[in-house]
């Protein structure tokens, strides 16, 4: 997902009404910020309001790397006191945190895979991020991108988000589909982006195969259908996905996907895969910031798993699978 940092005020007009009876201080301040977006510029200047505005900024995101002690099999690794990427000048609320796995390294061949990412203990200025394993497995490195959605953004009617946990043990199937409902319907059919934020797969897999996304033609202004599936002889225990929906008419925001099969034949794997994505013409006025995460994996389970995805040069997407030496 790519973002242009600057945004025009009029792009935030026309949003649906916010709740008339906010339930918290954050909701009150969020309502003030949202309603201010609808006022003409000359009225804003005369009022001289001191509350932050989201009209000039899109949601922000950050990145972090877990580097667990490789000599111990820890069930949980926590990074504490992570400052929000959202400036206090752009929000008066604690933002929603939407994580996405972008890299991990599992050195033990033939073992099960268990990794779940979650943002916890949110305070006014910072939060914690946890990498939970539920099993005593060794993971040498985990990298995470996360998107922050301030209350002002979600109440504006232009952004919504959530997480879904799917249990493949209770539903023995290769594919599970589930409906999500937007708490506030969009004015038009939104764009919906899905990332993996948790995976548990058994050691019996010869290959780990997992894919998640939005079912084609199943997105409306009120909700969407999200699927998670495996194929071949691969099986899953449980999966957690994060999703973000945004107004498709927003300027300076774009999302898409790329996979290694479009860069080289599936039967000819290689350590480093790189390709280019062309953004739509005139979508961005300058080089955007890019957030990435996995939505599909196809890895040999009988070997080490060391995989990473990242973006560079503003337009280039790089997929890196590297064998580490221990």
Q: Is residue 279 part of a domain?
A: yes
Q: Are 31 and 155 in contact (CB under 8 A)?
A: yes
User: Comparing C-alpha atoms, which of 284, 287, 288, 290 is closest to residue 309?
Assistant: 290
| Segment 260-267 mean pLDDT | 82
Q: Concatenate the DSSP letters of all residues of 98-137 into one string.
A: EEEEEEEEE-STT--EEEEEEEE---SSEEEEEEE-SS--
pLDDT of residue 70: 43
- d(CA 83, CA 119) in angstroms, rounded, equals 12
pLDDT of residue 225: 97
Is the pLDDT confidence value at 164 over 90? yes
* Position 139 confidence tier, pLDDT thresholds 50, 70, 90: confident
| Number of compact structural domains in the chain | 1
pLDDT of residue 212: 96
Is the pLDDT confidence value at 173 over 80? no
The residues, any chain, with a CB within 8 Å of residue 268's CB and separated by 6 or more, are: none
pLDDT of residue 96: 92
173: domain range? Answer: 2-9+57-321
Q: Is residue 214 part of a domain?
A: yes
Q: 27-78 pLDDT, tens per residue?
A: 555 565 555 555 555 554 544 444 444 455 788 899 999 876 543 556 778 8
Mapped onto helix, strand or coil, the DSSP state of residue 192 is strand
pLDDT of residue 31: 60
Q: Is residue 113 part of a domain?
A: yes
> Is pLDDT larger for residue 58 or for residue 91?
58
End-to-end CA distance of the chain: 34
> Is pLDDT larger for residue 318 or for residue 174?
174
Strands 96-106 and 76-83: unpaired
pLDDT of residue 33: 54
Q: Is residue 44 part of a domain?
A: no
Q: Are 294 and 305 in contact (CB under 8 A)?
A: no
Q: Lowest-pLDDT range, 18-22, 121-125, 186-190, 198-202?
A: 18-22
Q: Is residue 18 part of a domain?
A: no
Q: Is residue 20 part of a domain?
A: no
How much is the pTM? 0.80
Could you give the maximum distance between any two Cα atoms of the chain, in Å?
67
Q: Is residue 78 part of a domain?
A: yes
| Segment 299-319 mean pLDDT | 75
Is the pLDDT confidence value at 6 over 50? no
């Amino acid at each position: 997902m790519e973002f242009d940092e600057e945004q025009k005020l009029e792009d935030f007009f026309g949003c649906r009404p916010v709740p008339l009876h906010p339930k918290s201080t954050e909701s009150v301040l969020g309502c003030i910020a949202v309603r201010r977006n609808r006022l003409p510029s000359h009225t804003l200047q005369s009022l001289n309001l001191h509350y932050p505005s989201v009209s000039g900024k899109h949601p922000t995101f950050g990145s972090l790397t877990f580097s667990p002690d490789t000599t111990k099999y820890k069930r949980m690794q926590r990074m504490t006191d992570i400052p929000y990427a959202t400036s206090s000048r752009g929000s008066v609320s604690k933002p929603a945190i939407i994580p996405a796995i972008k890299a991990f390294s599992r050195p033990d061949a033939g073992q099960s895979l268990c990794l779940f990412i979650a943002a916890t203990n949110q305070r006014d200025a910072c939060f914690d991020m946890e990498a939970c394993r539920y099993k005593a497995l060794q993971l040498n490195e985990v990298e995470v991108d996360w998107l922050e959605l301030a209350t002002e953004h979600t109440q504006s009617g232009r952004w919504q988000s959530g997480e879904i946990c799917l249990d493949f043990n209770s539903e023995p199937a290769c594919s599970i589909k589930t409906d999500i409902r937007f708490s506030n319907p969009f004015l038009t059919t939104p764009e919906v982006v899905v990332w993996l934020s948790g995976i548990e797969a058994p050691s019996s897999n010869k290959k780990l195969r997992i894919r998640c996304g939005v079912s084609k033609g199943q997105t409306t202004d009120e909700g969407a259908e999200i699927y998670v599936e495996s194929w071949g002889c691969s099986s899953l225990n449980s999966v957690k996905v994060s999703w973000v929906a945004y107004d498709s008419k927003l300027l300076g925001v774009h999302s898409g996907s790329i996979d290694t099969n479009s860069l080289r034949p599936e039967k000819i794997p290689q350590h480093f895969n790189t390709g280019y994505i062309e953004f739509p013409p005139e979508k961005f006025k300058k080089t955007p910031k890019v957030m990435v995460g996995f939505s599909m994996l196809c890895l040999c389970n009988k070997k080490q798993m060391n995989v990473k995805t990242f973006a560079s040069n503003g337009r280039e997407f790089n997929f890196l699978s590297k064998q580490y030496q221990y």
